[in-house]
Every structure is written in structure tokens, then in C-alpha cells.
């Protein structure tokens, strides 16, 4: 403050007469190196001061002059720890919104990139920005987002996840209707498609809206790999998503109600492994599933140097001890382990968590009604997903409703030169994204 405000002010006063022109130069900030502006608003003055800025009062002048003095400690831009890619940019957002906006501006150098600022939180006064490309996003979705954020009245917003529940069409749904990301290239790619981003100061994550189920099953690296490699990986993800969702239920249903569909040798192996188990298959599976979820949570909460070791060794030791004690059978330990690994393949954590939660009611249906219960569960969940909307966009588009030209970037990815139009779910009037 002394070097940037007081010293220039005293030097200028010593060289010039303090008259109306001098006061005008002070108000306009013509000889200050800091960003400054004049304000008559008492609320703005208070907000700037409590945010770490300085204010200069001059007798006889209405209002005060504000100087940007914020110098918070911030970490440097590093590579993403949650969305790792082998080929592609190795940078991620940080907790400073202004650094994040500059990273996004570096990706999209176009005047149609717009940023609308909100201040949310009675006590935190958190800066929130809605970012979009004018002419690409749907105006009704943009208006919905702006209205929803403008109507939020809360004490604090310490993370962008605070806002997500105010923005969703179905806040009680287990399925996310938004996408978290900490990668600037992912946000830039989404904006160019016609989607909208919500970025908040104090968090390295931003929200992308709207979304579909298939956009949540995609990774940014899909677009940096060759199309056949990306398509193969997407098919693997979908396969393992079904495994993470249905494998324990299928095992319990088959061993309890439909042993005739199991090959004889495998059936004998499973029967011999379960010979001394005191619990039915459903209870046995519930014990293992809850234990595995506990180990997973412990691995996250334990300090990072110990977390992975505890998860791996704890799983091996507990699994082996449970089998030797006759509490669970070895085949079920294998099933639960494969299920746990499959859940990690889902690229977005919120969607993977939805599958993990729904696995328990499906497991109960399979353990009580057999394969018939699993079929009923799949039908009900699919019917529910088809009825979901993310800011008016059908969750299962482009399959429900069927949009043939958008299928080229869902289950598989065709080469870039064939993706000539933006996805129908997001685009407004400007459909074309490359020359035909």
C-alpha cells in the first residue's frame, strides 16, 4: 500500500499544486500503477475493503477510490490429479477464479466468449461466473441458469457443489445432471459445443450444464486418441459400468434361484466354497459390499501416503481372513473385487457414485426375486433415466429420443472430419462446427 498508493500520491502532491486538476487525476487514477475505480456505493466500498482491497477518501469528494490490493497466497497451476490424461494438456484449474478465467481465455480467443458475474453468499461474498459462447448455447437454458443463480440467497458458498443443487431440474435424483471438471480444455470443448460453464472462486472445479448420460461416460482423452482407440475404450467403460451395477446381483440371483444356468463344474466349485457359509448369498453379498465401501472410504480419508496401502492390504487381509473364517465364500470375494474395480472405470465420480448406491436395491431385488427382480429393476431405472431432464435436455439423448446424427459421438467416436455438426442437445442456431 505504501509503495503503490501513498508514495505516488505524495510525490505527485510535491510536484503539483493541489487543485481541481490534481483531484481529478487522483480520482481517475492516472498516476497509480494499481487498478482503481471510483464508487459512491457504500455497499461496494465495504465489500472491497473486506475483500482485501484499499479505499482512499478525499475530503470534498463524494464516494471513495478503490485500489486492487488483493495478494492472497495461491498455489501454482499444476496437472490435474483427478482427470489424468496421457496425451493432452497437463494443466488444471486452481482455487483462484481470475487465474482460472485466464486459463479459459487462453483456450478460447474469441469476443463471443461471455462471462456473467454473480456474488453469492451473505458472509462469504463469493464470486461466481457463468461462462458461455454467445450464439452457440441455447438462450432458454442460459436464461434458466442466470435466473437460478440470481435467486440464490444463502449465507455462504464455499464450493461450486453448493450451487449444483439449486440448478438441477431433479435435485433428489441419484443421477447427476451436471458435470464436474477441473480441466480448462474440457470446459473449452464444452463451451464450443454449446454448453454453459459455472465457475466459482475458491474451488478448482467448474460445473458444465446441461449433460446427458453419455457425455458423463466420456473422458477428455477420448478426443486426443485415435478414433478406434477411443471407441474401444468407450465400449469397455460401458461394459464395466454394467458389471459395476449388476454383477453382485446377478451372482446372488443365479446361485440362489437359477443354479441350472451355471456350468456344472463351476456350480460344483461354488457349492463347495459355500458349503460351510452360515449366511444366505444375499446377506453374504451385503456384508462384502458394505465392507468394500468402508475400505474405499477409509482409503480416501487416510493421509495420502497411507491411503493406497491401507486399501490394498486391508482388502487382501480382510478378504482372506473372511474366507478362512467361513464368513464369506471365495467366489463372492472375486465378484465384489471385480465390481469395485469396474466402478473406478466410470470417468465421472458422481455417476459412479449413483451406480454404487443403486447397486444395493438391485442386489436386494435379485436376492429376493431372482433374475425376474433384476429385470424389473433395470426396467424401472431405465424408465426413470429416460424421464430425467438436465435443463430441459433428455438425459438419454440421442437414444431416447433417437437422434441419429448424434450417435457418432456416444458409444463410439467417429473421426473428427465426420463430426461436422454440434450435438443437437446443446446447439442453438449455429449447428455447423467445421466446413463441410
pLDDT exceeds 90 at position 46: no
Bridge pairing between strands 179-181 and 206-209: antiparallel
Confidence of residue 69 (pLDDT cuts 50, 70, 90): low
What share of residues in the chain are helix, strand, coil (percent, to 5)? 50, 10, 35
pLDDT at position 18, please? 58
Cα–Cα nearest to 39, from 422, 430, 47: 47
Share of the chain above pLDDT 70, in %: 85
pLDDT exceeds 70 at position 93: yes
pLDDT at position 17, please? 62
Helix, coil or strand: residue 320: helix
Model confidence pLDDT, tens digit, residues 221-236: 999 999 999 999 999 9
pLDDT exceeds 80 at position 135: yes
pLDDT at position 60, please? 66
pTM over 0.85: no
Q: Which residues contact 58 (CB under 8 A, 6 or more apart)?
A: 23, 26, 27, 65
Model confidence pLDDT, tens digit, residues 339-391: 988 988 999 989 999 999 999 999 999 999 999 999 999 999 999 999 999 99
CA distance 250 to 256: 10
CA distance 238 to 222: 14
pLDDT at position 432, please? 79
Q: φ, ψ for residue 196 (rounded to 5)?
A: -125, 140
Model confidence pLDDT, tens digit, residues 201-220: 989 999 999 999 999 999 99
Model confidence pLDDT, tens digit, residues 158-187: 889 899 989 998 989 999 999 999 999 999
- DSSP secondary structure code for residue 5 in this structure: I
CA distance 301 to 116: 36
Amino acid at each position: 500500500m505504501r509503495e503503490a498508493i501513498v508514495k505516488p500520491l505524495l510525490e505527485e502532491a510535491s510536484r503539483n499544486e493541489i487543485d481541481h486538476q490534481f483531484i481529478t487525476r487522483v480520482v481517475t487514477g492516472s498516476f497509480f500503477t494499481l487498478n482503481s475505480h471510483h464508487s459512491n456505493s457504500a455497499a461496494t466500498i465495504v465489500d472491497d475493503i473486506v475483500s482485501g482491497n484499499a479505499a482512499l477518501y478525499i475530503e470534498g469528494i463524494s464516494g471513495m477510490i478503490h485500489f486492487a490490493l488483493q495478494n492472497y497466497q495461491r498455489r501454482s497451476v499444476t496437472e490435474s490429479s483427478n482427470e489424468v490424461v496421457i496425451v493432452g494438456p497437463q494443466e488444471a484449474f486452481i482455487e483462484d477464479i481470475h487465474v482460472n478465467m485466464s486459463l479459459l481465455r487462453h483456450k478460447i480467443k474469441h469476443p463471443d466468449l461471455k462471462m456473467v458475474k454473480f456474488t453469492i453468499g451473505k458472509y462469504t461474498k463469493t464470486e461466481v461466473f457463468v461462462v458461455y459462447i454467445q450464439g452457440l448455447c441455447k438462450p432458454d437454458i442460459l436464461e434458466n441458469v442466470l435466473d437460478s443463480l440470481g435467486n440464490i440467497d444463502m449465507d455462504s458458498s464455499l464450493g461450486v457443489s453448493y450451487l449444483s443443487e439449486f440448478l438441477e431440474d431433479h435435485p433428489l435424483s441419484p443421477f447427476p445432471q451436471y458435470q464436474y471438471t477441473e480441466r480448462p480444455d474440457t470446459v473449452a470443448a464444452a463451451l464450443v459445443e454449446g454448453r454453459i460453464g459455472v465457475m466459482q472462486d475458491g474451488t478448482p472445479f467448474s460445473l458444465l450444464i446441461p449433460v446427458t448420460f453419455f457425455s458423463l461416460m466420456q473422458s477428455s482423452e477420448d478426443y486426443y486418441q485415435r478414433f478406434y482407440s477411443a471407441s474401444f475404450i468407450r465400449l469397455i467403460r460401458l461394459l464395466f459400468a454394467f458389471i459395476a451395477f449388476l454383477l453382485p446381483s446377478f451372482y446372488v440371483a443365479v446361485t440362489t434361484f437359477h443354479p441350472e444356468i451355471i456350468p456344472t463344474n463351476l456350480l460344483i466349485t461354488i457349492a463347495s466354497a459355500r458349503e460351510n457359509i452360515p449366511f444366505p448369498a444375499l446377506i453374504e453379498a451385503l456384508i462384502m459390499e458394505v465392507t468394500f465401501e468402508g475400505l474405499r472410504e477409509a482409503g480416501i480419508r487416510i493421509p495420502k501416503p497411507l491411503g493406497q496401502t491401507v486399501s490394498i492390504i486391508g482388502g487382501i487381509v480382510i478378504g482372506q481372513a473372511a474366507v478362512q473364517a467361513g464368513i464369506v465364500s471365495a467366489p463372492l470375494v472375486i465378484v465384489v473385487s471385480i465390481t469395485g474395480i469396474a466402478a473406478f472405470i466410470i470417468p465421472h465420480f458422481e455417476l459412479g457414485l449413483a451406480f454404487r448406491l443403486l447397486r444395493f436395491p438391485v442386489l436386494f431385488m435379485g436376492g429376493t426375486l431372482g433374475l425376474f427382480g433384476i429385470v424389473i429393476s433395470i426396467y424401472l431405472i431405465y424408465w426413470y433415466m429416460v424421464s430425467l431432464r438436465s435443463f430441459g435436455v433428455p438425459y438419454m439423448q440421442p437414444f431416447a429420443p433417437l437422434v441419429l446424427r448424434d450417435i457418432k459421438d456416444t458409444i463410439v467416436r467417429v473421426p473428427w472430419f465426420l463430426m461436422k455438426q454440434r450435438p443437437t442437445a446443446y446447439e442453438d442456431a449455429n449447428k455447423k462446427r467445421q466446413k463441410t
